[in-house]
Amino acid sequence: MTLLTLDQVNALDAGAFAAAFAAVYEHSPWVAGQAAALRPFASVTAMAATFAGIVAAAGDDAKLALLMAHPDLAGRAAVRGDLTAHSRLEQASAGLDSLTAEEMAAFTRANADYRLRFGFPFILAVKHWGKAHILAAFRGRLDNSPAAERATALAEVDKIAFSRLLALIEPAPGGRLTTHVLDTARGRPAAGLGIELARLEGGAETVVRQDVTNADGRLDQPLLAGAEMAVGLWRLTFSAGEYFLASGQTLTAPAFLDLVPIRFHIDNPEQHYHVPLLVTPWSYSTYRGS
């Protein structure tokens, strides 16, 4: 599907805008309806924040109605084929459309426990998770206080909305993925170290970039920029073993470390993801920087 540009979004007449984004909040077109007047949006991130702000400013009854408008995960509506188009795709991407009888029983039980405790359906932005993750999230949230859990559920609704907006609108440019490798055994940038970036999707791996660090331990270009910043799972692999051999560091045979893989998700294609590696022949660390 062709994505709208932000310019197009900002230029829509109010009715067309409300229609285009009516389904972003489940069965709750009023959110998009109110957002029309709050344009222009400089980014999908800003647009999603505006939508979320409208929800946050709504009354408790409207919030509860919004939560209640969501279907159970792997619940009756799903079984009946009664989901919204968005929800069907989201649940399918988490594998919820192909549960074993045992798994279905586990979800039915979890949904029931949750509803009994909180009075509204369990909501989770499931698109990039599997069944085990979702059951873990059930466990993690059942002990929350009712007030904390309502806040958590609304935050999930906002994440789902952001994800739905990203399915409709081309992200603002500016997002990028960069890295930096420090040799913390020697206190210097790791120069000449090979890096491979792969996209992991549906069990398949696609190498999208191979590069070598410069004298500052960085790459001359971002690993990803602009439209390349796809939401989802990525893997950076650092050729630490070759680097250590080329730098003459003392190693065992075989060395403790060779290829260092780092798997991470990009959730917001408009942001800067800086994923550095601090490495010695015996240790490493990484973090989301910016």
Residues 76-95 within binding reach of its own copies (CB under 8 A): none
Residues 156, 213, 223, 229: which binds its own copies (CB under 8 A)? 156
Do residues 88 and 26 touch, judged by C-beta distance below 8 A?
no
Do residues 238 and 260 touch, judged by C-beta distance below 8 A?
yes
Q: Does 242 bind its own copies (CB under 8 A)?
A: yes
Burial class (CB in 10 A: 0-12, 13-18, 19+), 106: middle
Angle, in degrees to the nearest 10, between helices 146-166 and 44-57: 150
Residue 204: count other Cβ atoms within 10 Å of its Cβ. Answer: 8
Q: Does 259 bind its own copies (CB under 8 A)?
A: yes
Q: By CB under 8 A, what part of segment 106-125 binds its own copies?
A: 125
DSSP state of 177: E
Do residues 183 and 279 touch, judged by C-beta distance below 8 A?
yes
Structure tokens at 76: 């009756």
Residues 171, 175, 241, 269: which binds its own copies (CB under 8 A)? 241
Total residues interacting with its own copies, rule: CB under 8 A:
74
Q: Does 253 bind its own copies (CB under 8 A)?
A: yes
Q: Does 184 bind its own copies (CB under 8 A)?
A: yes
Q: By CB under 8 A, what part of segment 126-145 binds its own copies?
A: 127-129, 132-134, 136-137, 139-141, 143-145
Task: For residue 254, give every residue at least 6 positions away whose Cβ sits within 8 Å of its Cβ, in sequence order, or none.
Answer: none
Stretch that binds its own copies, among 16-24, 43-51, 63-71, 255-263 (CB under 8 A): 255-263
Stretch that binds its own copies, among 1-9, 66-74, 99-107, 276-284 (CB under 8 A): 276-284
Q: Would you give the binding string for its own copies spanning residues 13-32, x where CB under 8 A is met? A: --------------------
Name the minimum Å distance from CB 163 to its own copies.
7
Q: In terms of CB distance, is 76 or 186 closer to its own copies? A: 186
Residue matched to tokens 């989301």:
288
DSSP state of 250: -
